[in-house]
Amino acid sequence: GHRVREESGGWFVEPTVFTNVDPSSRLAREEVFGPVLAVTVFDAPEEAIRLANDTDYG
């Protein structure tokens, strides 16, 4: 990714894709307000549903 401009004075991130995100990480479990995509791999549709529903926002 690119560096944040020093004069920005805030928390900014370039559009970013994170792969192999641990389902227990904050990135996977909390909402991110920004151009961020967290990719989690699963083996079966049922596992994907379980992972999606296993958050406070499920």
What φ, ψ does residue 18 adopt, rounded to 5°?
A: -105, 125
The pLDDT score that the predictor gives to residue 49 is 93
- For tokens 């996977």, name the residue: 28
DSSP classification of residue 53: H
DSSP classification of residue 4: P
Q: How confident is the model at residue 31 (pLDDT cuts 50, 70, 90)?
A: confident
User: 30, 24, 38, 20: which is closest to 58 by C-alpha?
Assistant: 30
The pLDDT score that the predictor gives to residue 38 is 92
Cα 17 from Cα 2, distance rounded (Å): 13
**Tens digit of pLDDT for each residue in 14-30?**
899 999 999 999 998 88
The residues near 48 (Cβ < 8 Å, ≥ 6 apart) are: 42
Q: How confident is the model at residue 52 (pLDDT cuts 50, 70, 90)?
A: confident
Q: What is the chain's mean pLDDT, rounded? A: 84
